[in-house]
Structure 1
Amino acid sequence: MTTDHSRSSSAKRASALRSLLREPLVHFLFFGLAIFAVLAWRVPPDDPASRTIHLTREDQARLSVNFAEVMGRPPTAAELDALVARWVREEVLYREALRLGLDEGDAVIRKRLAQKMDVIAASAADAQTPDDATLARWLRAHPDRFAQDMKLTFDQLYFTGRSRAVVGRTLIDGGADWKKVGDPVSLPVHFEEASHTTVSSEMGEEFTRALERLRPGKEWQGPVESALGWHLVRLTAREPGVVPPLSAIRARVEDDWRAETARQREDVAYKTLRDAYKVRIDK
């Protein structure tokens, strides 16, 4: 009976897979992505300094694939024409902006390009799927990050923007009275032996997880982001609680492993690039 049931389940899954593979949209996405991947590897991008814009069939396939991923269907001929016209407009304006040097001295563009380089370096971590053994080692290496009923004692200063928090930390490091630094907000400045639940309810889950990764000490750390803004934190004590089994918190452990792995890849990639530069800083 069990064998017949297993064969029936396998037959149903195989039938469902065959039905899915017969879907035109699946074929379209598969072949479109394949073409885009091959051509992205083989064809160099157009020179931004050139006055010739060449939109290949492969470029059009990429636009079609992007459209289909969002809309769930291939574009019509009219929609593809509109996509092409929009792409040409953006390319013209992009090249002219480069020609006029509008990218130079623009802090926003500079930061955005730097972030994209970090994303490229870290992307390999997103493609990896860690097995249970990897996550079990990670949990053993970082139990404080996942312990329940952990007690945290810390001071925090709030800032409306990251740049303000950076300036605030510079002031504190320079000897300024920390109680006079920070933007006004209706949040506690001091937490004494507060649980994960207490901190999370006041400051948000994102902030709490980031806080649990900091090292206790007397120095101010951050900026640390929360749903409300940015914070400087002085974590003076952390008392670990009970660490749940991996099976109960697997998703959380994997998220933490992936985030840390991505940061490590960013650092390695930056060091490799940095070693190729000579930097002179005038005094």
Structure 2
Amino acid sequence: MNSSKQKQSLIARVIKEPLFAFMIVGGLIFGISAALQPQTSEKSDNIIEVSDVTIDRLTAQFDAAWKRDPTPEEMQGLIDTFIREEVLVREALALSMDQADAVIRRRLVQKMTFLMESASSGAQPSDAELQTFFEANKDTYAGKQKQSLEQVYLGAQVSQDDASRALAALNDGADPLTVGQPSLMPGALTRAPAQVVDATFGRGFFASVLSQPTGVWEGPVRSGYGYHLVRVTERPVAAEPALDDVKEKVIEDWAQQATDDISKKMYQSMLANFEINLPDTQENVTQ
């Protein structure tokens, strides 16, 4: 009984290994490549096979578009179109029209990229793997930093003396509404994340007051509109989530990382089959 469980456990570990997925996809690539290689027989080059599989595919495509099977006349038209396409494609390949064509190259790269990325599709992490990934990337899942603040607008330009007088007045208890210049900007924001603060005052404003102590007016702080005096009233600590709170997102990110890792390994394996010749100025650059 224990031996059977050990074998099952070993098989499960092997199947989850990226190398196993690579071998499967590598075999698939080899099979596709072999199937697409032109045959040496002159007879096969001149034969266009309209097989039952071809008929089924054409029928399925027609049904997907029109929600019914094609009539005999429509089926004949589909076959004629398939034959015409096959003739033109083979003649184009015979004339090497696929060579040095940027559109075809991009499409082939897309197909190979999709094939490599599909190697990890359906892979699921163990609880231990997921926990390890979560711990290594915990900052990614932490709650957004927020700040509550008040601000007084001093204007597009302000002298140092005027800014100092306004700052002293505010720290002495002056009503913010009696200091500075009127504007359409809000006088306060409550528990606002960087996206909201920067959307209100301009990019970088949130970060510029992030190190400012709370409860004290400071500045002037520059925004996209001019200069401000700012008092940070609250800076709540960002919540640190538990794995169960963000498990779906962590699994998604783990799967993307696994896909990236396998794709890189497969590319490096393919790259090893080639000798790269570069100009002297780019020697040793192969990536």
Q: TM-score by structure 1 length?
A: 0.46
Quick check: which has more Rg, 1 or 2?
2
Q: TM-score by structure 2 length?
A: 0.45
